[in-house]
Structure 1
C-alpha cells in the first residue's frame, strides 16, 4: 500500500506564486537593510545545544528543537551500554553464587556498594564514553541503571534465584529489559548529553552573538549585520505561528549610542512603507523600566517571572496575569502597586509623566524613562512616513537578554495578527560567550506574518507573480530551433521567455499559456521562417500582429 504523503505540523510547502510573493518581501527588506548600511551574514541551521540553552528563559528553552546524535553513534553507544549491563549481570550472577546464603538482600546491597568500582571499568572500555571531571553525572548514570537492574531482577519474585541459575539466553532477556527501561526513562543528564548535543536555532540573535565572539578579530566595530534565514520552534501551530519560519534580522554591535534605536524605528517605518503596509504601530518599552517596576513592588529577584507574566496582558487579560504573578510568589501587596500600570493609557508623553511618578524611587527606572524620552524626541523631529511610535509599558518580551529598549511591531488594527516584528537592546549577550562590554541592539521582521497581512489586505503588486512574459508555440523541431534563436535574444533583453517543450496540439499549448497567465504567445510556422518574422498574439485582447525580431523585443518590453 502506497504511503500517504504529508508534512510535519507547523510546516508548509510553497507554490510558485507564494514563493514570488515571499521573495518580494525579502527583496524589499533587503534593499532597506543595505540602504541603512547593514551587511549580510549567514550562520548554520543548527548550533551546539549549550550555545542556545539558557538564553531564552524557561519558556523559550522548552521550544528548542533538539537534534538526535547520528544513528550510527547511538547504535554504537547502545550496543556498548547493552554489553555493559550484561556484564554487570554476569558479575552479579557470579557474586550471588559466591555468597550463596539466604540473605540475598544483604548480598545484593554489598554488590551495589561495589558498583561504582565495577561499573567504570566496564564502561570506560568504550572510547566514546568519557567520564573525566564528570564524577557526579557518572554516579547518576550508575544509579539510574542500577535502579532498573533492581526493578527487573531483584524486586520481582523468583528472579534472584532464576538469575543465579540462568543461562546466556535468560541473561540476554534480563539485559534487554534493563536497557529498555533505562532508555525509556532517560533519567540521567549524562545520558541526555550523548543523545543530543545539537539543536536547531531558535532565533538569529543568539547565533549572531556567538558569531561575533568567534570572529571578533575579523570584524570592524561597530558592526552592522543583517541575516535572513529560517528558525525553528516546537510551538503549538496556529494562525500566524509556525514551527519553521523565516526571520529577517538587523543588528548593530559595538555601540551604546541611542541613535541606533532611533535608526531602527526609522528602518521599521521605511520597510513597511515600502511594502505599502500603512498604519503599523511600533511599540516601545525599556527593560530598565520593567526592572524599576519590579524594584518598586519588591520583586527584584523575580524579574523574569514578572516580565513573562506581564507580557501576556493583551493575550490573557489583567486577572489571569495577576494569578500567574501570585503563582510565582510575587506578593499581593506588590501586585496591588501595579494597578496604575494596568490602566496606563494616553499619549506617549502623558504615560512618561505617569511613569516618573510610579518610578520616582527607582534610579534604574528613571534611566529607562530618559532613554525613551531621547528616542521619542528624535523621532518627533525626524518624523515617520506611515508608522506610529507608541509607548507600551506592559511590553516585556520574556527573553532573558534584553537590557534596554524593547520593540514590537503590530499590524494595522483592521488585521487580527500577532506581532510582525520585534527586538531590543542586549548589552551583555556576547558576555555569555566570553566577550565582555560589547553592547548590541537589533530588530527582527516576521516574514510569514507579514506575508499573511499583505495577503489579507491585498497589498501584493500584481506584477510580482508574473514569471513568463511570452510563450513560443511549438509546431515541430524546425520551428522550435527558429523560435529558440528569438528566445535567446529576448532573454538577453531582460524578457522572460520560454518554448513549450512538446509539439502538442495548439489548443493544449494555448490553454497552458492561459492557466499560467502568460500575456503573450508567439506562433512560428513555415511562413514566419520564410519571411524571418514572428506572429505575436496578445492573450488578453486576442490581437495578432506579424513582427520582426527587433519589433518583437520592443513590443513585449
Structure 2
C-alpha cells in the first residue's frame, strides 16, 4: 500500500522544524518578558469539557475519540454499539457508549478547566503561556490545517482593562521581533450585544455574531443572506446597515455608536471599555493605523464577553494570524464563578507561511552543520573524531562522513545538506598539527594551525 498523510496534517523537514523553533523561541521569550509562566495540558479531554464552549459550528469541528470499550464489550453489546456508531456517522453524536473523550479544539477551554480544578493553589492574577498542538475536523485549505499549533498567553483573576492594553503590547512586540508587519483588529462583545439590542434581535445574538464573523469571507451580501436564513428580519438588518460603511477613524466610529446606544446600557459599557483600551494604547505610542476598531469583528466563540482581537498580516493574504479576547464567565461552566480571564493566541502555522512567503527567516533560523570531516579511513578517522569531540565541547556542530568514500561523494553530501565547511585532516595535517578546510559557500580553501582552528 502506498503511504500517505491524513488530510490536514504535515511532516516537517529539518529546515521547517528549525524555522518553527525560531518563531517559538521569540514568542516564548516575549511571554516570559511579560511575566507569563508555562503550562501544558493533555492532548485529549473529556468530551463534556469541550462541548458547548465553541458555539454550534465549533462543536461540529471537535475530533471525538471512539471509546476503546467497544472492543472490550461482550459480543451482543458490541454489535449494538457498532450499530449505534454506524447510525451516528452521518450526524454529530455524543452517546457516551460511543465516545466520551475528544482531542482538544483549542488551549483556552483546557486552561479554564485547569484553573477551575486548581484555583485554590494558584496566585491571582495568574498568567500562563502554552505552546501545544490542537485539532479541528475542518476542511483543509491554505493556512488551515486539522492539526496545528497554538501559542497562547492568558491572564485570569483580573478585570483590569490594562490587561487588554498589555496584550496589545505583547502582540506588537512579538510581531516586530519577527519582522512581520501586522494590523490588530479590535472590538468588544458588549458592543455586539448592544447592536443586537439596538436592532431588536437580542434573542438572535449568536446567529447575528456567527454570520457577521464571516464578513471577510462571504462579503456584505453573503452576511445579509445568512442573517435572513437565520430568521433575522429585513427591518433589523436595515438598522444594522451602517456596520458595513465605517470610517477609518476609530474614535469617530465609537462616537457614532454612543449616539445610537443612548439608553442601551450594555452597548455603552462596551464602547467605554474599548475607548479606554484605544486611548491608553495611543498614549503608549501605538499607531492607530496598526490598531483598528473593527465593528464587524465577532469571532464566533460563545465564551467571549468583552474585548476581542484579531491580527492580520499587512503584506500577505493569509486571514488571521492571531486572535483572542476576554472570557469572564468561562470557569463558571466548571462550577467555579467570579474568575475573569483574557487571552490571546498566535497562529504558529500561519505565521510560518507568512514569513516564508515574505522571505523573513534569517539564516540562523535554519539548522546547519558547521563542519563535515572528510573520511580518509585508518588513523586519520580516529584523529578526526578526536577533533570533532573538541568542537562539540565548544558548542560547534560537526560530523564525520561515515564511510571512507570517494571525495566527490563526500563533497556532494556536504553540498546537499547545506554544510558550510568540508574539513580535510589527512596524514600531512596530523603530522604538522594543521587543519585544511574549504568553505563551500565562498569556495575558499585554507590551511591553519590546529590551535587557530579550535580558536
- Which TM-score tier does this pair reach, normalised by the shorter chain? over 0.9
5 Å-filtered alignment, 1:29-428, equals 29-70=27-68, 73-77=69-73, 79-81=75-77, 183-186=85-88, 192-278=95-181, 280-384=182-286, 388-412=290-314, 414-428=315-329
Aligned counterpart, 2:388: 487
Which whole-Å CA distance do the structure 2 matches of 1:252 and 1:358 have between them? 33
Instruction: Tell me if structure 1 keeps the 8 A contact 2:184–2:290.
Output: yes
2:366 is aligned with 1:474:
no
CA gap of 1:180–1:351, structure 2 versus 1, over 3 A, is closer
Question: Which one of 524, 530, 535 corresponds to residue 425 of structure 2?
Answer: 524
Which whole-Å CA distance do the structure 1 matches of 2:85 and 2:218 have between them? 39
DSSP-derived class of the 1:282 partner: strand
TM-superposed CA distance for 1:8, in Å, is: 0.7
Q: Residues 358-394 of structure 1: CA distance to partner in whole angstroms, max 9, x if unpaired?
A: 2223111111111111111111111138970000010
Aligned counterpart, 1:9: 7
Instruction: Tell me if structure 2 keeps the 8 A contact 1:284–1:392.
Output: yes
Higher deviation after alignment, 184-193 or 364-373: 184-193
CA gap of 1:62–1:191, structure 2 versus 1, over 3 A, is closer
Which whole-Å CA distance do the structure 2 matches of 1:287 and 1:496 have between them? 52
CA gap of 1:478–1:242, structure 2 versus 1, over 3 A, is same
Which whole-Å CA distance do the structure 1 matches of 2:307 and 2:396 have between them? 47
Instruction: Tell me if structure 2 keeps the 8 A contact 1:536–1:552.
Output: no
TM-score, scaled to structure 2: 0.96
TM-superposed CA distance for 1:527, in Å, is: 1.5
Which whole-Å CA distance do the structure 1 matches of 2:356 and 2:274 have between them? 34
TM-superposed CA distance for 1:186, in Å, is: 4.5
TM-score, scaled to structure 1: 0.79
TM-superposed CA distance for 1:463, in Å, is: 2.5
Which whole-Å CA distance do the structure 1 matches of 2:420 and 2:324 have between them? 43
Instruction: Tell me if structure 1 keeps the 8 A contact 2:36–2:127.
Output: yes
Instruction: Tell me if structure 1 keeps the 8 A contact 2:94–2:100.
Output: no
CA gap of 1:367–1:14, structure 2 versus 1, over 3 A, is same
CA gap of 1:314–1:198, structure 2 versus 1, over 3 A, is same
Which whole-Å CA distance do the structure 1 matches of 2:31 and 2:41 have between them? 18
DSSP-derived class of the 1:441 partner: strand
TM-superposed CA distance for 1:179, in Å, is: 8.0
CA gap of 1:304–1:477, structure 2 versus 1, over 3 A, is farther
CA gap of 1:321–1:385, structure 2 versus 1, over 3 A, is closer
Aligned counterpart, 1:549: 450
Instruction: Tell me if structure 2 keeps the 8 A contact 1:296–1:361.
Output: no
CA gap of 1:190–1:56, structure 2 versus 1, over 3 A, is closer
Q: How many residue pairs were aligned?
A: 454
TM-superposed CA distance for 1:494, in Å, is: 1.9
TM-superposed CA distance for 1:540, in Å, is: 2.7
Higher deviation after alignment, 312-321 or 395-404: 312-321
Higher deviation after alignment, 316-325 or 395-404: 316-325
Query: Which structure carries more helix by proportion?
Result: 1
DSSP-derived class of the 1:195 partner: coil
Provide structure 2 residue ranges, at least 5 long, that are not aligned to the other structure.
none
Q: Residues 395-438 of structure 1: CA distance to partner in whole angstroms, max 9, x if unpaired?
A: 001101000000000111x3111100000000000111111100
Aligned counterpart, 1:162: none
Instruction: Tell me if structure 2 keeps the 8 A contact 1:289–1:366.
Output: yes
Query: Which structure carries more strand by proportion?
Result: 2
Runs of 4 or more consecutive aligned structure 1 residues displaced over 6 Å after TM superposition? 187-191
Provide structure 1 residue ranges, at least 5 long, that are not aligned to the other structure.
83-175
CA gap of 1:550–1:216, structure 2 versus 1, over 3 A, is farther
TM-superposed CA distance for 1:327, in Å, is: 1.8
CA gap of 1:230–1:179, structure 2 versus 1, over 3 A, is closer
Which whole-Å CA distance do the structure 1 matches of 2:228 and 2:287 have between them? 43
